[in-house]
């Protein structure tokens, strides 16, 4: 009986040792693979430079949608889905892969339209990244409209960034919002809101503009925070909320 127990114990110990050694080998293998991956990434960064490396990796989670040349952008569901319109040498549209089925991209003439398909349930599509990134060398006009009547549109973000050009027009319908960042525009025409609810326009301080025509309707909200604006032509409704700060104040009297 004692001999049988000893044999069983020896077998158990040998099995435990084998399992332990196997676990160590697997762990070491993962470390080698991980180290190889890190070295590969490091070599890529060293070869390409950090800026180019980041640029190439930026759209790993996106699906490229091929489109022709366009100048106008219609954001039909801008209170539901976040869109960034930015400067680039060639037109392109990128959609987050997991939102590809619910996002509708159409291109007619010089107009690019971004909306949601009929399959969706009006869910608010928010992410740490923009759901859609639109790239173009020039944009003449951006029009927003709301997909549904929701009061939660303040949490979403649509952005126009990086353009240097003579003119830009933006028309914001009620329940929609646009941020302008890092633009150099000679003439900006902005009409905010179409009814009582109003829209929201934010112009960051890193914008530079010679002339701004600003029409603010209903209960719309506009923020011009220290942006470099030489001349400001304004029409505000009685219920509008407008915040002006810093350099922009110099352009009011011009």
Beta carbons within 8 Å of 205's beta carbon, 6+ residues apart: 225, 226, 227, 228, 246, 247
Which one of 25-39, 109-123, 197-211, 235-249 scores highest in mean pLDDT?
A: 197-211
**pLDDT at residue 94, as a whole number:** 96
Q: Is 232 helix (H, G, I), strand (E, B) or coil?
A: strand
How many independent structural domains does the chain possess?
2
Count Cβ atoms within 10 A of the Cβ of residue 191 and give its class: 0-12 exposed, 13-18 middle, 19 or more buried.
buried
Q: Picking from 1-15, 43-57, 127-141, which range would have the lowest pLDDT averaged per residue?
A: 43-57
Which residue range(s) make up the domain with 34?
A: 2-53
Do 37 and 93 lie in one domain? The reply is: no
Residue 58 covered by a domain: no
Query: Is residue 156 assigned to a domain?
Result: yes
The band of 49, judged by pLDDT with boundaries at 50, 70 and 90, is very low
3-class secondary structure, 201 = strand
Q: Is the pLDDT of residue 89 over 60?
A: yes
Tokens, residue 242: 């407008």
Give the burial class of 165: count Cβ atoms within 10 A of its Cβ; 0-12 exposed, 13-18 middle, 19 or more buried: middle
Let me know whether 154 and 201 are in one domain.
yes
Examine the fold and report which residue of 16, 32, 53 is the final residue of a domain before the chain moves on: 53
Question: Is residue 57's pLDDT more than 80?
Answer: no
Residue 230, H or E segment: strand 228-236
Q: Across the chain, what does the average pLDDT equal?
A: 80
| Residue at 59 is within a domain | no
98, part of any domain: yes
Q: pTM score, two decimals?
A: 0.75
Residue 35: pLDDT band (50, 70, 90) is low
Same domain for 242 and 200?
yes
**Three-state SS at 208:** strand
CB 183 within 8 A of CB 160: yes
165, part of any domain? yes
* Per-residue model confidence as pLDDT tens digits over 135-177: 999 999 999 998 766 555 556 779 999 999 999 999 999 889 9
Both 84 and 150 in one domain: the answer is yes
- By CB atoms closer than 10 A (0-12, 13-18, 19+), residue 67 is middle
Query: What pLDDT, in 10s, does the model give residues 94-115?
Result: 999 988 888 999 999 999 999 9
């Amino acid at each position: 009986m004692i001999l049988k127990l000893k044999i069983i114990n020896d077998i158990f110990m040998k099995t435990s040792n084998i399992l332990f050694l196997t676990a160590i080998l697997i762990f070491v293998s993962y470390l080698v693979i991980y180290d190889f991956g890190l070295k590969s990434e490091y070599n890529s960064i060293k070869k390409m430079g950090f800026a180019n490396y980041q640029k190439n990796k930026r759209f790993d989670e996106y699906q490229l949608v091929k489109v022709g040349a366009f100048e106008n952008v219609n954001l039909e569901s801008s209170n539901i889905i976040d869109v960034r319109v930015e400067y680039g040498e060639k037109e392109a549209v990128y959609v987050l892969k997991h939102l590809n089925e619910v996002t509708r991209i159409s291109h007619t003439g010089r107009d690019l339209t971004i909306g949601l398909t009929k399959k969706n349930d009006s869910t608010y599509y928010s992410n740490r990244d923009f759901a859609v990134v639109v790239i173009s060398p020039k944009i003449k006009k951006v029009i927003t409209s709301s997909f549904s009547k929701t009061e939660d549109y303040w949490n979403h973000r649509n952005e126009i960034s990086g353009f240097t050009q003579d003119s830009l027009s933006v028309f914001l319908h009620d329940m929609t919002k646009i941020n302008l960042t890092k633009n150099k525009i000679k003439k900006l025409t902005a009409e905010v809101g179409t009814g009582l609810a109003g829209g929201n326009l934010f112009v960051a301080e890193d914008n530079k503009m010679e002339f701004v025509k600003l029409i603010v309707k209903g209960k719309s909200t506009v923020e011009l925070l220290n942006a470099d604006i030489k001349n400001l032509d304004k029409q505000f409704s009685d219920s509008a909320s407008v915040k002006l700060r810093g350099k922009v104040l110099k352009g009011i009297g011009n």
